[in-house]
Amino acid sequence: MDERFGFGAHFVILMEENWTKAILVNGKMELPAARRKIISSSVDVNGRGEARIRGGKSVDFRNKLIVNPGQKLRLKDVDPSFKGQHESQEAAAPELERYRQKLVQLQALLYAEKEHAVLIVLQGMDASGKDGTIKHVFGALNPQGASAAAFKQPTPIELDHDFLWRVHPHAPPKGWLAIFNRSHYEDVLATRVHKLVDKPTCTARYDLIRAFERGLKESGTTILKFFLHISKEEQLARFGKRLDDPLRNWKISESDYSERPLWDAYMEAIEDALSATSTPDAPWYVIPANRKWFRNLAVSQIVADTVEELGMSFPKPSVDLSDIRRKYHAAVREENNKEKGKAGRQEKSAKAQD
């Protein structure tokens, strides 16, 4: 058993440098005690290997935060400081950790079964927390089976192709979870705001996007799209923190400030794009993101609950386990005999020297 995935009826979790470590003791996942931050969680794993969280559950964010297909989104109706039923980051931490660990288990199933793929799309204004979401929600995943792609301004070669050309190669194969940090939606958002394309062109691109995502869905990819919604005031506050933090100075750019006067135009473009492209096959969720901890909780819950519904299970072994077990025991006996023979020769040699 891969100890990082913690398959068992009950386990305790250790987060250390974004990786999960645990030890199987008497049928339970437990941790060494010394000087580590330990967060307890109870997770059922049924006979098919499915992870299900026990205990209390927060608001169902899939229903509350979804952009309902066919309805017009109004971002003014979404409070970017919404925090659910939790009053603080500390209060939400155990639930967030449960969902993070649930994602770890589900990714193991996803990778083993290789019947499904998962695509996570993150969009948001500058400083909305796309990088932070990847780190804090998905940071414990096994890199063997996960990928992240960031889409910045297109290169000259990319501009010579259709706007979907550069993103399609990064779509996940079966068994993988892929994250898009920005995405093909830049070509109906930034391009529209900067008047590189007109509204009729954007409308035509909505059709192409829906067709593209429908094709991915029909090929076995579950698509979840998140708009990380922060206020204009919160964005400026985060820009200030970047100025004061030498470790984050590298994120500062002139566009941080040249784009701010275009805020309202971006909000209008976002409302139109999300309203036009939120479908049952590829829904959009508007995530209140002024509070980073709530952003992480909402995204992790939506992803975990959706992927769980795929009903994945570990594949049956492709070999005869009885035959393999016989070969294993034969190999063990052979090694033991070698060790006994080696020990006997050493003892005989020692007596001869005496």
Provide the pLDDT confidence category of residue 254 given band limits of 50, 70 and 90: confident
Q: Do residue 251 and residue 349 come from a single domain?
A: no
The answer to whether residues 187 and 259 belong to one domain is yes
Whether residue 254 is found in the same domain as residue 302: yes
Mark whether 207 and 255 lie in a shared domain.
yes
8 A C-beta contact, residue 174 and residue 220: yes
160 in any annotated domain:
yes
pLDDT for position 65: 98
Strand 221-229, strand 284-288: pairing: parallel
Whether residues 192 and 101 fall in one domain: yes
Give 103-157 pLDDT, tens digit per residue.
999 999 999 999 999 999 999 999 999 999 999 999 999 999 999 999 999 999 9
> Are 72 and 125 contained in the same domain?
yes
> Considering just the CA atoms, what is the radius of gyration of the chain in Å?
25
102 and 135 part of one domain? yes
Does 22 share its domain with 140?
no
Q: What is the pLDDT of residue 352?
A: 67
Minimal CA–CA distance to 55: which of 102, 117, 4?
Answer: 102
Look at residue 268 and tell me whether its pLDDT is greater than 90.
yes
296-337 pLDDT, tens digit each: 999 999 999 999 999 999 999 989 999 999 999 999 999 998
Confidence of residue 22 (pLDDT cuts 50, 70, 90): very low
Judge whether 48 lies within some domain. Answer: no
Same domain, 282 and 340: no
Cα distance between residue 225 and residue 304, in whole Å: 14
In-domain check, residue 303: yes
Q: What is the pLDDT of residue 208?
A: 98
Helices (H), the chain: 61-65, 89-113, 130-138, 156-159, 186-193, 199-218, 232-244, 255-258, 263-277, 292-308, 321-353
Give the C-alpha distances (Å, rounded to integers) separating 344 from 2, 84, 283, 351.
Answer: 37, 70, 69, 11
Q: Is 338 domain-assigned?
A: yes
Assess if residue 80 is contained within a domain: yes
Give the model confidence (pLDDT) of 91-117 as tens digits.
999 999 999 999 999 999 999 999 999
**DSSP string of 229-248, one letter each residue:** E--HHHHHHHHHHHHH-GGG
Q: How many domains does the chain have?
A: 3
Q: Write the CA distances from 71 to 30, 67, 215, 274, 313, integer angstroms.
A: 47, 7, 23, 10, 36
Residues 6 or more apart in contact with residue 147 via CB below 8 angstroms: 170, 172, 176, 177, 178, 179
Alpha-carbon gap, residue 212 to 210, rounded angstroms: 5
Tell me what pLDDT residue 183 has. 98
What pLDDT was estimated at residue 35? 28
Residue 49 included in any domain: no
One domain, residues 136 and 265 = yes
Domain containing 26 equals: 1-41
CA atoms within 13 A on the CB side of 212: 20
CATH number at residue 183: 3.40.50.300
